[in-house]
Structure 1
Amino acid sequence: MRLSKEQRKAQILDVATRIFVEKGYYDTKTKDIAQACGVTEPVIYKHFTGKDDLFYQVLERIAGATLEEVNFNPAEDTEQILISFVMNRVKILEDNFPLFKKLLIVVLRDDEFRQYYFTKFIPKLAYPVIGYLDQLKEQGVIKKDVPSSVIALALAGIFVQVSLAKGFEKDQSFYDFPTNDLVTQMLDIYLHGLLKGESGG
């Protein structure tokens, strides 16, 4: 059966995701992806400008897949919304951890990709979070003197570190630590700090 344009693009993204995980970004060729899809290489270029574009779209599809499930409603409990957001991102990273590891290698090695990652990929994902944080500032819920982008970066640090702590070998210290507990405790430190109040409470 002949695939529609949308179906073919989805197929290519599915296959490319698998091959990027198996071979890594640098050892993957567009001809490998085309062969695995059962098409010629020019078909790949009908949908993507090249391997870079294909890798970017693989990442964006995965990273943005479930973000709409988070209810960024400033009228709801702030702490619960942030827990929901971080858990959503942790699940995405855990479900795609082999690809996440390949991504880290590319970010560290490739200047051009690193520029895309920090100037396009991250801001696109951070946009709804930053909008939510701006609303909280307007309501006086959080401090106004800390840029929302910095707050969002700190939140990203939580879900990345939780994913790294849970994603490696089974004998490391956090492997058996419940993910939800780890997220909740790290967010508690993030929101309320470690220092006791003047009363010692």
Structure 2
Amino acid sequence: MGKPPSLSDETVAIDRRQQVRVVANGSVIVYGLETARGRLANISSAGMLVRLTESTPRCRCGEPVDVELHLDRTGATWLRFRGDVVRSDEFELAISFISVPIDFADIVQDALVSALEGAALPHVLLVDPNAQRRAPFAALLRRAGCRVAEVTAPLDAIRHLGSSAIHSWVVAIASTIPAATADELQRFLKESDAPVDVRMLRHESPTSSLAWFTATTRRSG
């Protein structure tokens, strides 16, 4: 596979004493012995977590890699830096940075500021195994100004909440999950110490789900 253009000489070493993890979105290409592509899950000044778009692992733990990142932001350009794979499975790659562009710390800081500016908007975790319903509803939530994460199963929801840097979530659980499982997840989250607001989605139409979600959000706000 082809390698990306070489890094500029203007790179900096990583100071790992202060690491702020930022939940951000972007496209990632990882060049190692083979090439892996995915979506950015979170990033800090010391590394990133990538959710792979293909289920087959493409990089080995300990393998040095070149990385290209394009953040989903207006005016963003492709960023190039080097790192080591510190964790690899069929779904995710964790990469520890070796060197980054000279302005990379500013870019991470800008992403953090953007995340803080959006903190007043609802962060929604959508739990729905039905992709044909989940994706359109998630798109409508994003158009309404929400920050949305999507999972297909209750255990995935619990893992996501446990690893998230966001401190407050609205968890929307779809009625397409078996009733006993959905009720168990709702009960677990309400009894936990996690600052989450649990909603049960009772509508199949994405539009009606959004209308109901908006109405209940206003009542609870």
TM-score by length of 2: 0.33
Higher strand fraction: Structure 1 or Structure 2?
Answer: 2
| Greater C-alpha Rg | 1
Greater RCO structure (CA 8 Å; 6+ sep): 1
More helix by share: 1
Give me the TM-score of the superposition, normalised by structure 1.
Answer: 0.36
